[in-house]
Structure 1
Amino acid sequence: MSTTNQINPPKISVITVCFNASEYIGATVSSIVEQKSISFEYLIQDGGSGDDTLNIAGALLRDVPEGVEVSVVSEEDDGVYDAMNRAVERARGEYIIFMNAGDVFYSADALSKIGEILKVKSVDVLYGRHVIYSNDYESGEVAPRPIGCLWKRMVFSHQSMFAKRSLLAEYPFKVESLSSDHTQIYEMYSNGAVFYETELCICRYLDGGLSVQHYRRSILDRLLGVLKADGIFRFRSVQVVLYYILIFFAEPTIYEIRRRRKS
């Protein structure tokens, strides 16, 4: 892996996509503006909330630290992935991380630590550890699975990933898919993007997103994304299809059993 010798870390854009998220937006915004020892861009892409989401965010953004550039847009969109694509178009950082409503950085120096790594590592995607939490549960640190298993599932959380803005623009989110984050990352990986794993824990993310709420549809969308990226006639296609048939029936049941044990 090549290295760089930048004096300052590359500019990072932190993006929060939200809609009627007054219950969670405060923790997310607070976590971001409390990041220490680094300048960065913070973008909020709101879907036209009708609750107190923007009021809560606005109050917390009045006294942002010096060096933090803030931009807030509220407009109707076609869902979370459309909003994320719009935010990527607005962003000006070299790297982007999504920290959506309910997600928070693991520590106040998480962003500065990542900046120091990106200052010396020439990579397209950097990813690390995460913690999963809900109203009644919090995991320990979860390490990424081997990157070679990406055809099966997400091997790290989307909220623990820093990706080059140019790459996110080249591989935009598929608005109609419930596994668009996995499809996007798999396309990047399949086309030779350079991935780098750090042992740092980057985020705590809120469990229960769209893919969890509609588990079986998200599995089918994940399969379609892999087959499209690989090519349906690739030698591994039969293995891929058989694997996804198995998890289509087994994985939602396993997830529900684990969820009940946690609660």
Structure 2
Amino acid sequence: MKPAFIKKNLLWNDVWKIKMDKSIIITVAVITYNPVWEKFRNTLRSIIWQKNVSFEIVIADDGSENNCLDKVEEFFKEQNFSNYRLVKNPVNQGIVKNVLSAVNIARGKYIKLISPGDFLYDENTLEEVIGFAEKNPAALYFGNMFYYSIDENKSITIYKDKKNPRDLRPWKNHNMKQIKRNYLVDCDYICGAVSMYNTKKLSEYLNKIAPFVIFAEDCSMIYMIANNEPVYYMNIRGGYGMSADLEYQHKRVMNGICA
């Protein structure tokens, strides 16, 4: 598939024009603004290494002075990866509209938003979350998150996962009343970095908030939960920390990504 630049400025009220492509189950949308190339490249590596799942990459840049898109094309060429498209918004319009510019051309049934510097957990992450989602239809899914740091010698430290939201009990028990209280009253939010959406649902809710919200695309989650949309916690790895084996596996992958 030949990569294409989307030159025009795709606005929030564009209609849903792109039909779902049954050969692509998930779109990974990298949302950028003046990215640092090394972090950007490492994020792309963690995506293209995914196994046993059909996916595309959409990169949406929000009017950066240095968008690195020429380096992106060179990188994908070196990696022999062609299933991607680039959205080059000519002016900065805010995160919500930038995300929408990616959503508007996404062909996957599901969409995962990611930022430069964030990585997918390992090579099977997309395969596992799609396996869960196909059995549990919902508007929004989220899972566990692990933090890392890289020192000047490129030594990687993995930190045990921190709960986002802090109280996972109502999510595990599907207690919608308590979920809404925690989310809407106590502001115990899902971190956007660990979320995945049904693409059409994300488009619907982003278009609802776009006239009023510029920078907080995660407000779409608040709207979904307030509106009783189904949301699932994916505890695919199990537990709340990392076993020695999991930590070793993640460090192995991270070392490959950050090489």
Common topology (TM > 0.5): yes
Given that 2:95 and 2:217 are in contact with CA atoms closer than 8 Å, whether structure 1 keeps it comes out as no
Q: Shift of residue 74 of structure 1?
A: 1.4
2:189 matched residue in structure 1 = 155
Letter of the 1:188 partner, please give it.
M
SS at match of 1:186: helix
2:32 matched residue in structure 1 = 18
Q: Using the alignment, how far apart are the partners of 2:97 and 2:188 within structure 1?
A: 20
Q: Check 1:46–1:154 CA distance in 2 against 1; reply closer, same or farther (3 A cut).
A: farther
Q: Using the alignment, how far apart are the partners of 1:115 and 1:69 within structure 2?
A: 18
Q: Shift of residue 46 of structure 1?
A: 1.5
Q: Using the alignment, how far apart are the partners of 1:65 and 1:122 within structure 2?
A: 33
1:165 matched residue in structure 2 = 199
| Of 161, 168, 173, the match for 1:141 | 161
Q: Shift of residue 134 of structure 1?
A: 5.0
Identity of aligned residues (%): 21
Higher relative contact order (CA 8 A, sep 6+): 2
CA RMSD after TM alignment: 2.6
Q: Check 1:188–1:64 CA distance in 2 against 1; reply closer, same or farther (3 A cut).
A: farther
Structure 2: stretches of 5+ with no match in the other structure: 1-21, 152-156, 172-178, 238-259
SS at match of 1:60: helix
Q: Shift of residue 132 of structure 1?
A: 2.9
| Structure 1 residue ranges (4+ consecutive) displaced by more than 6 angstroms after TM superposition | none
Structure 1: stretches of 5+ with no match in the other structure: 1-7, 202-263
Q: Which has the higher helix share?
A: 1
2:125 matches 1:110: yes
Q: Using the alignment, how far apart are the partners of 2:214 and 2:64 within structure 1?
A: 23
2:100 matches 1:85: yes
Q: Using the alignment, how far apart are the partners of 2:67 and 2:223 within structure 1?
A: 37
Letter of the 2:57 partner, please give it.
Y
Q: Shift of residue 65 of structure 1?
A: 6.7
2:208 matches 1:188: no
Q: Using the alignment, how far apart are the partners of 1:96 and 1:190 within structure 2?
A: 21
Q: Using the alignment, how far apart are the partners of 1:154 and 1:65 within structure 2?
A: 42
Q: Structure 1 length as normaliser, TM-score?
A: 0.64
2:235 matched residue in structure 1 = 199
2:8 matched residue in structure 1 = none
Q: Check 1:180–1:74 CA distance in 2 against 1; reply closer, same or farther (3 A cut).
A: closer
Q: Structure 2 length as normaliser, TM-score?
A: 0.65
2:88 matched residue in structure 1 = 74
Larger deviation, residues 185-194 vs 77-86: 77-86
Q: Shift of residue 91 of structure 1?
A: 0.9
The one-character-per-residue Cα deviations of 1:180-201 (angstroms, maximum 9, x if unpaired) are 41x2101101112111111136
